[in-house]
Amino acid sequence: MRAARHEAAMWLTVAMLGLAFGPSALAETSPTGPARRSHPRPRAVLLAHKSGVNAIAFAPDGKTLASGGADGSIILWDVAAREPLAAVLAGPKQGVSSVAFSPDGKILASGGGDGTVVTWDLARREPLGSPLAGHAQGVTSVAFSPDGRTLASASDDRTVILWDLAARRPEGPSLAGHRDWIASVAFAPDGKTLASASADRTVILWDVATRRPLGSPLSGHAGWVVGVAFAPDGKTLASASADRTVILWDVAAHRPVGPPLAGHQNWVSSVAFSPDGKTLASGSADRTLLLWDVATHQALTSRLFGAHRRGVTSVVWSPDGETLASGGDDKRIIFWDLGREARSR
């Protein structure tokens, strides 16, 4: 394991030990802004992984959820039945760090600690050819372009590769600009911009066509940046950091929109916008989730805690916006029922 990632694992372990006081301690500090009284509750708990869940993703039709585990397994879940759809897909022994569905829902991409990306034919439950190999170290994040023709992969080797999926080869030289390992990548809705988040505490916005950075890196976090997500309209970018905050960025202006969103008691591991772009969900190593009003920057609820027993690693919205799913180091996937909350807005 690369030294920086080993240090990250140790840092997270120490952070987890600091949470031994339990959920009551978490409730002592209120998140930014007044919290609503309505409080989404867990609707289902999915258990099948033998170790922590590193990543989850909904299929475009919302009927299937994919999860990747530190144990190297990939599980496809029937969302309605809340059960695995078929046999577990075998990923690398070094663990599955990221999963993403193609826009048409026919392909699943998974990034692994072995430095490769596997694309899976979901109809046949088999890999589409050999793994995509090009990184010198583990793959941390994968993301499809909106047209499904390109796949971006980020790595511990400080680079991003844009893959031509039809030709199954890189579209050009790797995107190199970060000074430390890259934790997350995300395409803008129009596919013209790619965001990459790094342990160098910055986010770089890349022009996909020219493969060059769009201006200077976005700097504002005091710790590693470990997650990024674009709003559905592409005008706002959210970044999650080990400094326990989330920053909302004006993509065009390259500057923060207001002060950081502060409320978590440990590093923020993942962020996701609701389909309508009005709500942002954040998951944290403090074992909780928060829902934020994007317009006002205020917390919509108190912390969602009690369901995860260890840190939250990944949060995603169902396409209809009625459900939020979270994966954690406790091997659990939680479905949170947000139907009432969504309708009340």
Looking up residue 201, the CATH number of its domain turns out to be 2.130.10.10
Per-residue model confidence (pLDDT) at position 6:
35
Please state, as a whole number, how many other Cβ atoms lie within 10 Å of the Cβ of residue 197. Answer: 31
pTM over 0.85: yes
What is the reported pLDDT for 263?
Answer: 93
Closest CA to 226 of 178, 188, 258, 259: 178
Closest to 37 (Cα-Cα) out of 281, 289, 302, 299: 302
d(CA 229, CA 186): 6
**What is the phi/psi pair of residue 222, to 5°?**
-95, 0
pLDDT along the chain (345 residues), means of 10: 39 35 34 49 88 97 97 95 89 92 98 96 94 97 98 98 97 97 98 98 98 97 98 98 98 97 96 97 96 94 80 97 96 85 45
Cβ-contact 302, 35 below 8 angstroms: yes
> What type of residue is 85?
L
- The parent domain of residue 72 ranges over 3-343
Asked whether the beta carbons of 98 and 89 are under 8 A apart, the reply is no
* Number of structural domains found in the chain: 1
Q: 108, exposed or middle or buried, with CB in 10 Å at 0-12, 13-18, 19+?
A: buried
Residue that the structure tokens 């950091």 belong to? 241
Which of 98, 97, 164 minimizes the C-alpha distance to 129? 164
Would you state the pLDDT for residue 257?
96
The alpha carbon of residue 95 and the mean position of all alpha carbons in its chain are separated, in whole angstroms, by 16
3-state secondary structure 98-134: EEEECCCCCEEEEEECCCEEEEEECCCCEECCCCEEC
Would you state the pLDDT for residue 37?
39
Amino acid at 311: G
Confidence (pLDDT) at 337: 85
Distance CA 6, CA 218 (A): 26
Q: Kindly list the distances between the CA atom of residue 149 and the CA atoms of 121, 171, 259, in Å, as whole numbers in the listed order.
A: 15, 11, 36
